[in-house]
């Protein structure tokens, strides 16, 4: 890959940042273009410290800005498209989610064709396959069968449409006459340092006497460490250019997990924070079926209030289903086609994440201390 240029969209996000770091560390690219609509304060400086022989160019722009995308894709050989609106509560308007996640992806695919970018890798989502019912049990299935999310929740629906567009684009003819090659990765629930959902859960517990909110005590999932998801993208990039592997990879999707033990979402949060005296909520909870219908009513309330104000419900019927299902997949297909093996063991991933949780706890203590002075 020496001499290549790679564009990573959504580079300021949880996954995008880790992909940038591994591209710098594990490849010899000529240039990495890190694109996002806006970067948090300090991230530019963090990226500048990564630079070695690889030029790292930070770009701010809108994924819906077609002329900007065409300029950004010039002289690029690989695009890793992580940019999207992630939503499970239905707070952002459906139109915004569809615009960014579906139309933005389509515009970027077309920009790649015009700029003759030969490789496109798309991080999709487990939600494109389901779950469709909290009563459904899916364990270790990853064959390309009829598994598909049939629900209309905006985020999984948008990711399903975007993934289909990406895989359908495989084999397109580029402007220079070459062929366009694509693939998609479907990671399990991603955790690790800086994870937005884990951050929110830990901070909420710190402000609630150390009690972790229950988000999915009835679930069984196989979470995956963010570093391993980023590593899978590097391997997908290599596989698409390897003549021995490329034919089996092009136009395909792959489930990405690792050796993190299968567990509930609640247990994962507890495992990563228990040494700081955070604990699970032991209080009685409503029956799952009742929570589902209450969630459905809360979703109707959200829609009715939308013309007046933005209301974020504590849960809705989609989140009840998503966080209380038995929904696990293996990564054997990625092992076979991408030569994927987790870069980080469960113990390494746990240790790194626990250390980061500790930094949140320390920050909370400092905040309390400053308020009492």
φ, ψ (nearest 5 deg) of residue 212? -80, 130
Instruction: Say if residue 319 is exposed, middle or buried (CB neighbours under 10 Å; 0-12, 13-18, 19+).
Output: buried
Which tokens sit at 323?
Answer: 């966080």
Which residues is 173 bridged to in the sheet?
A: 179
pLDDT at residue number 250:
95
Q: Is residue 260 part of a domain?
A: yes
- Cα–Cα nearest to 168, from 155, 146, 184: 184
pLDDT at residue number 313:
82
* DSSP H or E stretch at residue 20: helix 14-26
Confirm whether pTM is higher than 0.85. yes
What does the pLDDT profile of the chain (373 residues) look like in tens digits?
667 899 999 999 999 999 999 999 998 899 999 999 989 888 888 888 876 778 999 999 999 999 999 999 999 999 999 999 998 766 678 899 999 999 999 999 999 999 999 999 999 998 898 787 777 778 777 665 556 777 678 899 999 999 999 999 999 999 999 999 999 999 999 999 999 999 999 999 999 999 998 888 888 999 999 999 999 999 999 999 888 888 999 999 999 999 999 999 999 999 999 999 999 988 878 888 888 889 889 888 888 888 888 788 888 888 888 888 898 999 999 999 999 999 999 999 999 999 999 999 999 999 888 877 6
Q: Is residue 103 part of a domain?
A: yes
Neighbours of 357 (CB within 10 A): 21
CATH code for the domain in which residue 87 is found: 3.40.50.720
- Report the half-sphere exposure of 169 (CA within 13 A, side-chain side): 27
Range of the domain at 113: 5-197+224-264+330-345
Structural domain count of the chain = 1
Q: In angstroms, rounded to a whole number, what is the distance separating the alpha carbons of residues 119 and 339? A: 18
Q: In angstroms, rounded to a whole number, what is the distance separating the alpha carbons of residues 160 and 156? A: 6
Active site residues: 159
CA 51 distance to own-chain centroid: 24
Q: Is residue 362 part of a domain?
A: no
Which tokens sit at 263?
Answer: 């567990």
Q: Is residue 215 part of a domain?
A: no
Q: In angstroms, rounded to a whole number, what is the distance separating the alpha carbons of residues 50 and 20? A: 9
Q: Is residue 21 part of a domain?
A: yes
pLDDT at residue number 143:
61
Q: Is residue 133 part of a domain?
A: yes
Residue in this structure with the two tokens 């899916």, named with its chain if needed:
138
pLDDT at residue number 2:
64
Q: Is residue 360 part of a domain?
A: no
Q: Is residue 304 part of a domain?
A: no
């Amino acid at each position: 890959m020496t001499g290549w240029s790679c564009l990573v969209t959504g580079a300021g996000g949880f996954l995008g940042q880790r992909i940038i770091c591994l591209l710098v560390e594990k490849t010899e690219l000529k240039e990495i273009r890190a694109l996002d609509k806006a970067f948090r304060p300090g991230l530019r400086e963090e990226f500048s410290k990564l630079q070695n022989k690889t030029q790292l160019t930070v770009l701010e722009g809108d994924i819906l800005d077609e002329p900007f995308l065409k300029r950004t894709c010039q002289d690029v050989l690989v695009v890793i498209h992580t940019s999207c609106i992630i939503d499970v509560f239905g707070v952002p308007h459906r139109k915004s989610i569809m615009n960014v996640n579906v139309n933005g992806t389509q515009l970027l695919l077309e920009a790649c064709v015009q700029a003759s970018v030969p490789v496109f890798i798309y991080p999709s989502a487990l939600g494109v396959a389901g779950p469709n019912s909290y009563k459904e049990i899916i364990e270790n299935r990853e064959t390309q069968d009829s598994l598909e999310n049939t629900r209309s929740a905006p985020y999984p629906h948008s990711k399903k449409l975007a993934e289909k567009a990406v895989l359908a684009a495989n084999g397109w003819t580029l402007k220079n006459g070459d062929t366009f090659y694509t693939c998609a990765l479907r990671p399990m629930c991603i955790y690790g340092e800086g994870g937005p959902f884990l951050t929110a859960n830990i901070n909420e517990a710190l402000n609630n006497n150390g009690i972790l909110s229950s988000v999915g005590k009835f679930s069984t999932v196989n979470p995956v460490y963010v570093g391993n998801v980023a590593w899978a993208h590097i391997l997908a990039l290599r596989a698409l250019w390897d003549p021995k592997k490329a034919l089996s990879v092009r136009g395909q999707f792959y489930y990405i997990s690792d050796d993190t033990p299968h567990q509930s979402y609640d247990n994962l949060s507890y495992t990563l924070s228990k040494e700081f005296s955070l604990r699970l909520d032991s209080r009685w909870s409503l029956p799952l079926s009742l929570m589902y219908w209450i969630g459905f009513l809360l979703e109707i309330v959200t829609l009715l209030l939308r013309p007046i104000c933005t209301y974020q419900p504590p849960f809705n019927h989609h989140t009840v289903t998503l966080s209380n299902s038995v929904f696990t997949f293996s990564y054997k297909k990625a092992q076979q086609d991408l030569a994927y093996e987790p870069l980080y063991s469960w113990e390494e991933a746990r240790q790194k994440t626990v250390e980061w949780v500790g930094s949140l706890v320390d920050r909370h203590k400092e905040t309390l201390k400053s308020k009492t002075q």
